[in-house]
Amino acid sequence: MIMLDIVRMIRKHLLFNLVYALLFIVVLITGYQHYTLLNYGVSPCVTLVLLVFFCLTTRLSGRFHKRLFTGIVFALTGSTFVLLRNYDPSYFTYGLLAFLVCHLFYIGAFYLDFRSAQELDKKGAKIAIFSSAIIFTTFYFYLRPHLGPLRLPVLVCIFIVALLAMMAAFRNQRVNPASFKLILTGVLFFIIADGILAHCYFISPFQFSDLLISAIYMIAQYFIVIGGVERKLIRPLSAD
């Protein structure tokens, strides 16, 4: 069960988890209390802690870890731009582009695991493709009346997010179960954050939406990083 994996990860990396939990709480408190400058200073530290932890534990030993690390760097860039959007509205667009590149690097990392044994779990792959087609098509048509000239760019973004979900699902039976479940959980949280952000940007924001997106995003990155740290390829590729 995923909860058992989480408990094991907390015990195994106790110091990191304590620091991350503290930063998580501080980010939410400073956001809720509108301590803007403090929030601007603390928020990037969340991703920086993930980067340092990921480097120290994996030593970026293979292509998977290098791609995941690069994705986290772009996630840090994206979250920083989005954070500064009140100073310049164009920063929000730059932030979204950085997150898009982050998704592409995550997809590239997950593809390495899928490629290690493409013949496995064909039934699971079909379920992932079918589910993603229904969910993401429905979400696009939900947003479509509000997109105006951005329909095509948003369609491309939704396709990339759908590909991210499918590639995370395709890792099943190709890596150890703990890594598969942790990363898939992280990706699902990432998709929820993306969905809320799209709703708030294109349709209408709601009270504490920024705080909710921030919390879900931090949870998503935590699971993806922990899943990447714990990843063990069942059929190793050279320099994976």
Instruction: State yes or no: pLDDT of 52 exceeds 90.
Output: yes
Which are the contacts of 14, defined by CB distance < 8 A and separation ≥ 6? none
Model confidence at 239: pLDDT above 60: no
Amino acid 240: pLDDT = 65
Q: What is the pLDDT of residue 189?
A: 96
pLDDT given at position 236 = 65
Helix axes 90-115, 151-170, angle to 10 degrees: 30
Q: What average pLDDT score do residues 204-227 get?
A: 94
* Mean residue pLDDT across the chain: 91
Q: Among residues of the chain, what percentage have pLDDT more than 90?
A: 70
Separation in Å, CA 113 to CA 105, 124, 231: 13, 15, 10
Distance (Å, whole) CA 20 – CA 27: 10
φ and ψ of 232, to 5 deg: -135, 120
pLDDT at 238 over 70: no
Query: How large is the average pLDDT for residues 129-146?
Result: 95
Put simply, whether the predicted model's pTM sits higher than 0.85 gets the answer: yes
Arithmetic mean of pLDDT, 191-220: 93
Of 5-14, 79-88, 153-162, where does the model show the most confidence? 153-162
Q: Find, among 169, 171, 174, 172, the residue nearest to 236 by Cα.
A: 174
Lowest-confidence range among 1-10, 77-86, 143-152? 1-10
- What percent of the chain has pLDDT above 70? 98
For residues 145 and 202, is the Cβ–Cβ distance under 8 A?
no
The pLDDT of residue 237? 59
